[in-house]
Every structure is written in structure tokens, then in C-alpha cells.
């Protein structure tokens, strides 16, 4: 009985290791070659294992890429959501969120993935929809919920938290995302430049939505 259990645990561990290696290989190849350039032979060659193992674990190329992207989205968003789930007042929370978001979208990995999404995404709609659901849509939902809570606390005057979340999100990433898509390599921005831009966006945003009570407490 003990030997059977140990054998099962060993097989499970090996299976997890193969799955991990395949997901890592798929992500690396995606960034190198784009959606259309990734082949199962390349994934297997880089990660080991077999085509049978890959199909059993992911169902094929699309399932493997989706799993790898969803994992990266979860990791990407986890840090962003910290400030939005806190009880920090609007200026502090939005500034912290804006700086974290700006720094993350300007990493080499995020820039490369964004370029691939815009250049090839229309050929891989289900994968893009999965990414949007796990990434941008999830982050916007957290931002919407934060704005709702601050409205209910009397700190913000907003009639449509979701629309205001979209506005603030666009203020942070809009122009920089255009730079990412147009310039190769994109312009590098210092921490000071990022902070200056975010602080300006927060000031403009709160100028329009902060309640008088909140303004009085921050003057």
C-alpha cells in the first residue's frame, strides 16, 4: 500500500513538473514567435515530455497557450489589485495603483505581449478573449468596486463607477500604450517620469469626482 502511494505521488510530481515545463516553454515561444509561430514540436523539444502528455494536460496548442496566458495574467494582476482592495483613501490608492500599472505595462515582457496581441489577436479571438477576461477586465472590475466603495463612503461623487474606472484606466495607459505599438524599441521612462504622469492623472481625475468633504480632509 505504501509503495503504491509513493509511486502515485512520484507520478503526480512528474506530471506536474512536465506541465510546468510545457507552460513555461509555451510562454517563452509565444513571446519569441507570436501565436502563429508556436508549434507543439517546439514546445515538446524545449520542455521534454510527449505530444500525448501535452494533449492529455491541455487538449492541444490553444489550451496550452490559454493556460500559460491565464497564469501570467493572474500573476500580473495580483500586485495591481493590492491597493484597490485596501482601505486607503482615493489619492493614495489611485496613485499606488497607477504607478504599479504603469511600471508593469512598460516591462519588456508586457510590451512584447501587447505587440503580439495587436498584430495577431484578430486571428486568435478565443485566446484574446480569455486574456481580456483574466487581465484587463478583471483589473477594471476591481477598480470599479474600489470607486463604488469610496462613493459609498462619501469620498467620491460619481454616478457610473464602471465608466469612471474606464476613464481613469485610460488616463494612465492611453498614450504609453500607443508608444508601445508604434515604437520599436519603445521609449524608456524613469520612475520619476512615471510618478509625475500618474500624479497628474490622479489630480485631474479627483478634481472632477472628489466630494467636498474629501477635499476638506485633504486640504
Q: Which segments of the chain does DSSP mark as H helices, in order?
A: 2-33, 40-47, 51-58, 61-84, 90-105, 108-120, 125-134, 136-152, 161-182, 191-209, 212-218
Name which of 191, 164, 169 is nearest 106 in CA terms. Answer: 191
Q: How far is CA 32 from each of CA 38, 93, 101, 214, rounded to the nearest angstrom?
A: 9, 35, 24, 48
Phi-psi region of 120 (alpha: psi -120 to 50; beta: other; left: phi over 0): alpha
Which CATH superfamily includes the segment(s) 67-218? Tetracycline Repressor, domain 2 (1.10.357.10)
Per-residue pLDDT of the chain (219 residues; tens, 9 = 90+): 555 544 444 545 676 888 999 999 999 999 999 999 999 999 999 998 889 999 999 999 999 999 998 888 888 888 888 889 888 999 999 999 999 999 888 888 888 888 888 888 888 888 888 888 888 888 999 999 999 999 999 999 999 999 999 999 989 887 766 666 665 566 678 899 999 999 999 999 999 999 998 888 876
Place of cell 467620491: 156
Residue 219's pLDDT is what? 65
Q: Is the pTM of this model over 0.75?
A: yes
| Distance from C-alpha of 200 to C-alpha of 179, rounded to nearest angstrom | 19
Contact 126, 62 (CB under 8 A): yes
Which CATH superfamily includes the segment(s) 1-59? Homeodomain-like (1.10.10.60)
Residue 54's pLDDT is what? 92
- Same CATH topology for 1-59 and 67-218: the answer is no
- Give the domain ranges of the chain: 1-59, 67-218
Helix (H, G, I), strand (E, B) or coil at 156: strand
Residue 9's pLDDT is what? 46
| Distance from C-alpha of 214 to C-alpha of 154, rounded to nearest angstrom | 8
Place of cell 512536465: 18
Amino acid at each position: 500500500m505504501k509503495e503504491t502511494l509513493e509511486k502515485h505521488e512520484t507520478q503526480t510530481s512528474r506530471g506536474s513538473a512536465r506541465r510546468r515545463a510545457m507552460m513555461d516553454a509555451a510562454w517563452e515561444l509565444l513571446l519569441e514567435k507570436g501565436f502563429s509561430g508556436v508549434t507543439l514540436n517546439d514546445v515538446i523539444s524545449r520542455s521534454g515530455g510527449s505530444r500525448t502528455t501535452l494533449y492529455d494536460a491541455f487538449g492541444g496548442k490553444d489550451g496550452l497557450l490559454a493556460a500559460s496566458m491565464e497564469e501570467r495574467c493572474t500573476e500580473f494582476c495580483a500586485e495591481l489589485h493590492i491597493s484597490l482592495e485596501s482601505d486607503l483613501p482615493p489619492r493614495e490608492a489611485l496613485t499606488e495603483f497607477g504607478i504599479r500599472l504603469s511600471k508593469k505595462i512598460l516591462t519588456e515582457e508586457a510590451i512584447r505581449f501587447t505587440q503580439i496581441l495587436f498584430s495577431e489577436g484578430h486571428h486568435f479571438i478565443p485566446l484574446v478573449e480569455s486574456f481580456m477576461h483574466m487581465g484587463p477586465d478583471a483589473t477594471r472590475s476591481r477598480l470599479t468596486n474600489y470607486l463604488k466603495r469610496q462613493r459609498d463612503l462619501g469620498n467620491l461623487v460619481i454616478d457610473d463607477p464602471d465608466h469612471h474606472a474606464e476613464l481613469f484606466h485610460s488616463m494612465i495607459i492611453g498614450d504609453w500604450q500607443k508608444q508601445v505599438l508604434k515604437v520599436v524599441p519603445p521609449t524608456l521612462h524613469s520612475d520619476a517620469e512615471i510618478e509625475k504622469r500618474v500624479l497628474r492623472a490622479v489630480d485631474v481625475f479627483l478634481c472632477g469626482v472628489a466630494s467636498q468633504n474629501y477635499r476638506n480632509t485633504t486640504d
